[in-house]
Structure 1
């Protein structure tokens, strides 16, 4: 198992190098991933179908950002569509729970916003592109939730799914180190840094790196069978954390910290005394590693990262808006809800409104306010489904000890990055899985008479 794990990590480090140095390789990687998982899903045994579908989707979630930054996909939203495609494959093979009907309602409630958009969107705008851009994320969430709801998987399978999520993040991290080996050379202030993010959106890069931080932290605590693997996991956690911090986009890093604490608190109080002692010891090692990571990050950024997280500019003056303009967007979208409370302004309606009033495209950062402004009262119902349906399931089944961490990721991410990438939607679905624990097999010696 150790050899397999190490070979997977090394293979994905090599992939990062090939993506950086070989121009045609990103496209080859993208189509290779699709073909590989399609074959795996089709030929997997029936009892392994669910796990393989979720592995395929998890891998696409982890790889989505590097596909985007290297123009590897067929189009910008490719990963979301192929995640939906793979899940529909899974639905065909495995079906869905009849208890997942609220998420069917969630999908149906999006239809009026499309109708409103078709009436209101300017003739010069592309209805298909605008609507698809804002609704692909919520649709991905709804489909993921329908498929995952109450699906039974065991602990080993869950850890494998999380690993498939993290492996392409290793590739992304390798690419980032090759793209900007020296952070000091690309610094200009305390704003989000595109150069340190592979020339791509720091918010998206930070978000997916935060997921990598969480997975390798989980592996460090509960999935390291030997000292060597424990060391490998903490090194990967450190490298991914460093690259996440120096994007200067705080959302992904803070979300990862919240996820880790949610996971550790839950696991700690559900553990035996012996396990608690191991968790405490490992936690101190994690704290020491975190201090080292921050010290190196501060040194490499000449102290600018300290100012960034203290909400200061490069001269040390405190910024007036800690939300970096997100709060103004949030209240602006609430005004859209107040103006048209019944069916909202329609899908992508607030984007069109900002083009008219500001003369430029300003994407929303908050999915909650977007749901209200673009869907009206139906948006409130959709939010209630998203928040209370998982809690209702949790009240009846408390075995998924990743539940709170995964739900924290979804909620925190949609509040700072909306649903630009597939991650929050798919991770929300994983929180709805029914985690089973394998009973250890008992060997009984046959009595000789």
Structure 2
């Protein structure tokens, strides 16, 4: 067994151990959260960010965020987003940023009018101040990630390391889910999103990180598993991530994960020579078989309720009128608020209060696109257009990132079903903007040592 393979397996086992320790002593989750921040800062400063250590630490934080939140490790809901944003600023100080990324400074400036509208609110109480932070932390984190990553050179091998660091905490999450809910069959009684199979936390966010893990372990399986034991380890993690994501009964993260896999296969096909294309056909066939097997097993474990969930039916088999769990009404209200306040919007964090007046219920938005429109008006629309168009204009001139389409679709689909509750969509969006350099293994090692 190669040293790198042995280290990978040991790291996976370490993260299994972290989950077991936190399950037995929940207070350790806060210690874990604190150690990540402290060690991350020390690691970046020690190396002066010469090898983009900021991205490594941030990737690990992104992978760990849902686990920290479900186990009470976060010191507040914005803890990881704040840390990622601060590490990006630290990266600016240590290694600068591309002037070509000025467009994302414009994006950050476009967020200001909506904040100012809220600040002039007649009843500016503590709850409204919290709402501003809650709704603006994600976009600010995204803007800083984008500025740091735009046109930044990164070796393909380094990008793979970033994926590994995002995936390791997902191993911890998977282990904790098993400890929290060892028997899926005992807790599945309907077709609604299930908190028991999600570790007692929000199924939407759990399925999001498991969907991202599904993609990470698939890439590990297909691109980096050179030995039988690595194929077995990553194959198991891929299959198990898919199973636990499915049984959360939250569809957004699962659909996003599989969309990422389809797009990375398409990208690899376009970048491959004839021999590579033939191998990819076998990979597609094997992947289809594995996905089918996971689906059948999950359906059996849930007594057929999983099929009804994806067919938009209730437990009795009746088709639901609402396909998005009540989100259509929220989105409709947000479009109405935009039409009534098209220039400045109603103000950051105020949309929830308006929806309470319109529907009698205070419901937070799950869709970042409609939230930007309703709360920030035309400025939000311009900000959204920048986020949609700039990555593709960059990709047209630097199409060596095989994960570009997968990263972009993760951001786009995630903000449509889970808004920007976590740092994951912000950070992964930034990864779209990296200038990935392909080098032979020996040359890559030399380049890494130089940097």
TM-score range, shorter chain: over 0.9
Q: What is the match of residue 62 of structure 1?
A: 63
**CA deviation vs aligned residue, 1:393-417 (integer Å, no higher than 9, x gap):** 1111111111011000000111111
What is the CA distance between 1:22 and its match in structure 2?
1.4
What is the CA distance between 1:314 and its match in structure 2?
0.2
Q: What is the match of residue 363 of structure 2?
A: 362
| Structure 2 counterpart of 1:6, from 5, 9, 14 | 9
What is the CA distance between 1:273 and its match in structure 2?
2.1
Unaligned runs of 5+ in 2: 444-451
Q: Using a 3 Å threshold, how does the CA distance of structure 1 residues 244 and 103 change in structure 2: closer, same or farther? A: same
Task: Give TM-score, length-normalised by structure 2.
Answer: 0.95
What is the CA distance between 1:227 and its match in structure 2?
1.8
In 1, the alpha carbon distance for the partners of 2:441 and 2:250 equals 44
Q: Look up the SS of the partner of 2:361 in the other structure.
A: coil
1:438 aligns with 2:439: yes
Q: What is the match of residue 266 of structure 1?
A: 267
1:78-157 → structure 2 map (5 Å cutoff): 78-120=79-121, 122-157=123-158
What is the CA distance between 1:322 and its match in structure 2?
1.2
In 2, the alpha carbon distance for the partners of 1:174 and 1:46 equals 32
In 1, the alpha carbon distance for the partners of 2:71 and 2:413 equals 27
- CA RMSD, Structure 1 to Structure 2 (Å): 1.3
1:27 aligns with 2:30: yes
What is the CA distance between 1:202 and its match in structure 2?
0.4
Q: What is the match of residue 350 of structure 1?
A: 351
1:37 aligns with 2:34: no
Contact 2:26 2:71 in 1 (8 A): no
Q: Look up the SS of the partner of 2:369 in the other structure.
A: helix
1:219 aligns with 2:214: no
1:205 aligns with 2:218: no
**CA deviation vs aligned residue, 1:84-103 (integer Å, no higher than 9, x gap):** 11111111111111111111
What is the CA distance between 1:284 and its match in structure 2?
2.0
Q: Using a 3 Å threshold, how does the CA distance of structure 1 residues 121 and 259 change in structure 2: closer, same or farther? A: farther
**CA deviation vs aligned residue, 1:250-307 (integer Å, no higher than 9, x gap):** 0000001111000001101211222222222222222221122111111111110010
Contact 2:61 2:84 in 1 (8 A): yes
Q: Using a 3 Å threshold, how does the CA distance of structure 1 residues 304 and 336 change in structure 2: closer, same or farther? A: same
Contact 1:268 1:276 in 2 (8 A): yes
Q: Using a 3 Å threshold, how does the CA distance of structure 1 residues 268 and 33 change in structure 2: closer, same or farther? A: same
**CA deviation vs aligned residue, 1:320-346 (integer Å, no higher than 9, x gap):** 121222122111101111111110000
Contact 1:62 1:165 in 2 (8 A): yes
**Stretch deviating more after TM superposition (336-345 or 281-290):** 281-290
**Stretch deviating more after TM superposition (357-366 or 135-144):** 357-366
Q: What is the match of residue 339 of structure 1?
A: 340
Q: Using a 3 Å threshold, how does the CA distance of structure 1 residues 405 and 436 change in structure 2: closer, same or farther? A: same
1:181 aligns with 2:182: yes
Q: Using a 3 Å threshold, how does the CA distance of structure 1 residues 441 and 291 change in structure 2: closer, same or farther? A: closer
Task: Give TM-score, length-normalised by structure 1.
Answer: 0.95
Q: Look up the SS of the partner of 1:324 in the other structure.
A: coil
**CA deviation vs aligned residue, 1:138-194 (integer Å, no higher than 9, x gap):** 011000000000110101100000110111011001000110011111122100001
